[in-house]
Amino acid sequence: MADRGKYELLFPTVLFVASDIAKRGSVMKMIVSTAIRALGIVLFAGMSHAQTPPGGVPIPTTSDFGDPGDQFGYILAADGNWAVASGSFGEAFYVYERLANGTWTRRQRILPPVLGQAFFRTPHLRGNRLVISRPSDPTASPAGSGTVYVYQRNDSASPFTLNATLRPADAQTGDRFGYGLAQTDDRIFVGASARDEGANTDQGAVYVFLLNAGTWVQETRMSPPDAGASARFGQDLAFDGQDLLV
């Protein structure tokens, strides 16, 4: 799988063995996820938490890092020499770069567009694009239907900035839009695991957004007719370069 190579850079033992196993059931996914979070403590221990923006100077972090209950590293994403970790109990994501000498340094802190409202879902990092979701978003319409934020940067020397906000055209209250995430160069896949399909409550669906002339447009919605109620289709997504695993 394409993502396996990315994770091997950070977690060579656990995910090399478990990445394929994890796709076979929610219990194994939970075990692997827990292992990743545990490794996150080791991975980020002793790193430089002083934020060093590309081309800038370190920024003091005493006011935004290390508070009780931060749960730093509870959520992780990685791509090559870059990693994103949650902090402040989901109310911020921290972007790290691995330098040539093997040490990690913090490059950026990303806050939700609306302060005080946590993201609370796993981000997805791919090159110069970072996708973060908020599946239960009270500011969305209808309320609680979920929002996906697309952050973009020009290159590795630039910070991520909010580029787009994604919401489905046929959103439902509490559909958990954004619970699952995957992306390619020109598409973003978003799971809405609690979406009702007909009489099937919480059957779930996957939305596909296409990058068209610089703008993200909803391309299609997928949900298997035989999934049934409470299937939670779209709760976890992975893309290997050719196939989308749901």
Q: What does the pLDDT profile of the chain (246 residues) look like in tens digits? A: 333 333 222 323 222 223 333 333 444 444 344 443 434 433 443 344 445 444 443 433 434 555 666 677 778 889 999 999 887 666 788 899 999 999 999 999 888 777 656 666 678 999 999 999 888 877 778 877 888 999 999 999 999 999 999 999 998 888 889 899 999 999 999 998 889 888 888 998 999 999 999 999 999 999 888 888 888 988 889 888 888 888
Element (H, E) at 171: none
pLDDT in the model for residue 90: 64
Helix, strand counts (H, E) of the chain: 3, 14
Quick one: which of 222, 235, 229 has its CA closest to 178? Answer: 235
Rounded to two decimals, the pTM is: 0.74
Please report which residue ranges of 105-231 form alpha helices under DSSP H. none
pLDDT in the model for residue 65: 53
Quick one: which of 37, 39, 40, 19 has its CA closest to 28? Answer: 19
List CB contacts of 91: < 8 A, sequence separation 6 or more: 111, 112, 115, 116, 117, 118, 119
pLDDT in the model for residue 116: 58
